[in-house]
Structure 1
């Protein structure tokens, strides 16, 4: 007989809320495991039951769940049949069961239990179907709140840190009182209505704490969706919007981008002056992004969700020091972050040079800055030359005056500074690619090469 794990739900409180089917399954199994020793119904399992409290020693929820499921599976492979008991119902807010169901090493039998949510709705006197209420995990509250502005039952508020994150995730405090639910169905049950701003001082979180929010203010995701729906309506009903293409919107995108830059120039970070204009101009720029995504969606190519998913995954992949700190080399400052970004991007795109992908349409000054920043990531700089010497630190005003002086100098000589700088960038690009080719031929990684090797390759490329 195949190794089998029977999963039973113990209900949300004491033994009186365990189902008859769950009690029979417990009686039929000799080898019993429970996710936590803290559940008030554990006594129905008997003293021989093993509590798998991996959350107390694991470094993360994911690690705790993985270790727990592996221990249960190994026990099933050893004994043939084991019982695994979880609080509430097996398929409501129980990540270990989700992980177990995807494990092909054993067969699974699930026995339903009364969910904590059933008891919570009863205590609240709320019909979730009538009110459109949703259940969200406090550990994922930021992303969940972005999807709804309706009533929410927030569960697993088990620490002060999780409580603080939940409060911070709601941008605008609800006008109505929120209901705190703690230890439902057991000794010390506590149900209380409090003001949102009083939650951190009035609530002492534990593993049996939840909170009902009648109607939090609309979050980012809700407002964005309203805007997406509006743009879709404009595409259907407005003659001008309906006839636009990616190409026809090009000048509008450029204009809105420049207006955002102008608003940033007029923004005072200390006083906040100019915030309203910056907000407005960012909205206009957002319209261009959503508009292009809508056009693509109408053509069956991609939509805004694909755009958001793509940039989300890209940013996550290009920040290994944030999301995979144990598997990647640490970065210590902003410059090393940018160098790491360029290396990852170069590998993603299959590019042979760090300079590949710099748009040809960039203004020369922007192209020069981008080329020099990328080349600096592999230790290559431009030749030291020009009429402006190094006299120590300068501010943006002095640098601006120096650039103006160079432009004037070019004007007197009859030289177009844009063309001159573009040709200088081209020469620099040739040198950088030459260094990269020489390094590749010698099997060297420029990012890891020592200064002597790098200097030799640069000198050879410059023809020194």
Structure 2
């Protein structure tokens, strides 16, 4: 019978819970002063922060690859970071994994009254509006305070990677009226910022150079927004192309790349670039 204890123990839900418990137990053993792992025992929430970011990016990369096995593996690495952070917090009495799970569950129920309550919504935009209102109330903010543009932008700058934050800030500012009349105005601003960056490099100190570089990058993000391009994805793709071409150069080279002249390296670069292009064309059946 489907309601028997044996059936319950082998149900998909029971299997998932058992797997999660095993992970929790393994992490607890790694952190145990009695026979645990020295590396894991040495970690703190702060030392693990780079791994949280790294694993999140690796999840995104796996999703982009479309490989289910890779996605599952990287999600596991990210889940490990959640469990490990909760384990460390539990050891000092801050919170437990149960509180983490309870907190997000309660938040989801609270912010979806149209699913778990009696609120009616017409579309996704109304859902988003309600979400923001509920979120503001949770923080003790008035609707007016929650809608302040500077408050929203500060949240993006504090929580997101710089390129992603820049795009979000650009989008929100444009929606609030901080926008050029046409794309020519964006390009004019880019030329202006480029000239100011050149001037800073030639005449100013490091702090001013850094500031002008930031202004230039932010303007370029605005250019990307006008053309509906994602600067973070664009840079990530360029990084991968650079690695692929460098790998191609190393495959062609007969000695260490450091032993080649600049002109010879340029020749290797062009050969690797052409070979990579041909390979991509073959993959597309062209």
Which TM-score tier does this pair reach, normalised by the shorter chain? 0.5 to 0.7
1:216 matched to 2:39? The reply is no
What's the C-alpha RMSD, in Å, of the aligned pairs? 3.5
Q: Separation in 2 of the partners of 1:282 and 1:353?
A: 33
User: What's 2:165 paired with?
Assistant: 367
Question: Match of 2:47, SS?
Answer: coil
Query: What are the within-5 Å matches in structure 2 for residues 65-84 of structure 1?
Result: none
Structure ranking higher on relative contact order (CA contacts 8 Å, 6+ apart): 1
Residue 227 of structure 1: how far off its partner (Å): 0.4
Question: Match of 1:338, SS?
Answer: helix
Query: What are the within-5 Å matches in structure 2 for residues 26-425 of structure 1?
Result: 179=1, 213-214=6-7, 215-217=9-11, 218-236=14-32, 237-267=36-66, 274-325=67-118, 328=119, 330-351=120-141, 352-354=145-147, 355=149, 356=151, 358-361=155-158, 362-371=160-169, 381-385=176-180, 387-388=182-183, 412-415=194-197, 418-419=214-215
- With the length of structure 2 as denominator, give the TM-score of the two structures: 0.57
Residue 336 of structure 1: how far off its partner (Å): 2.1
Q: Separation in 1 of the partners of 2:113 and 2:217?
A: 35
Structure 2 unpaired stretches of 5+: 198-211, 222-286
**Residues 211, 300 of structure 1: alpha-carbon distance in 2 compared, 3 angstrom cutoff:** closer
**Residues 308, 375 of structure 1: alpha-carbon distance in 2 compared, 3 angstrom cutoff:** farther
Residue 411 of structure 1: how far off its partner (Å): 7.4
Question: Match of 1:344, SS?
Answer: helix
Structure 1 unpaired stretches of 5+: 1-178, 181-209, 268-273, 390-402, 426-464
**Residues 312, 414 of structure 1: alpha-carbon distance in 2 compared, 3 angstrom cutoff:** same
Check whether the contact 2:114–2:121 (CA below 8 A) recurs between aligned residues: yes
Whichever structure has more strand as a proportion of its residues is: 1
**Residues 375, 423 of structure 1: alpha-carbon distance in 2 compared, 3 angstrom cutoff:** closer
Q: Separation in 1 of the partners of 2:91 and 2:215?
A: 41
Whichever structure has more helix as a proportion of its residues is: 2
Check whether the contact 1:365–1:418 (CA below 8 A) recurs between aligned residues: no
- Range moving further from structure 2, 223-232 or 406-415: 406-415
Residue 254 of structure 1: how far off its partner (Å): 1.1
User: What's 2:202 paired with?
Assistant: none
Q: Separation in 2 of the partners of 1:324 and 1:384?
A: 39
Give the greater-gyration-radius structure (CA): 1
- With the length of structure 1 as denominator, give the TM-score of the two structures: 0.36
Residue 367 of structure 1: how far off its partner (Å): 2.9
**Residues 418, 382 of structure 1: alpha-carbon distance in 2 compared, 3 angstrom cutoff:** farther
The count of corresponding residues between Structure 1 and Structure 2 is 192
Residue 371 of structure 1: how far off its partner (Å): 4.8
**Residues 312, 283 of structure 1: alpha-carbon distance in 2 compared, 3 angstrom cutoff:** same
Cα shift readout 1:349-378 (whole Å, capped 9, x = no counterpart): 0232335361433345433554577789xx
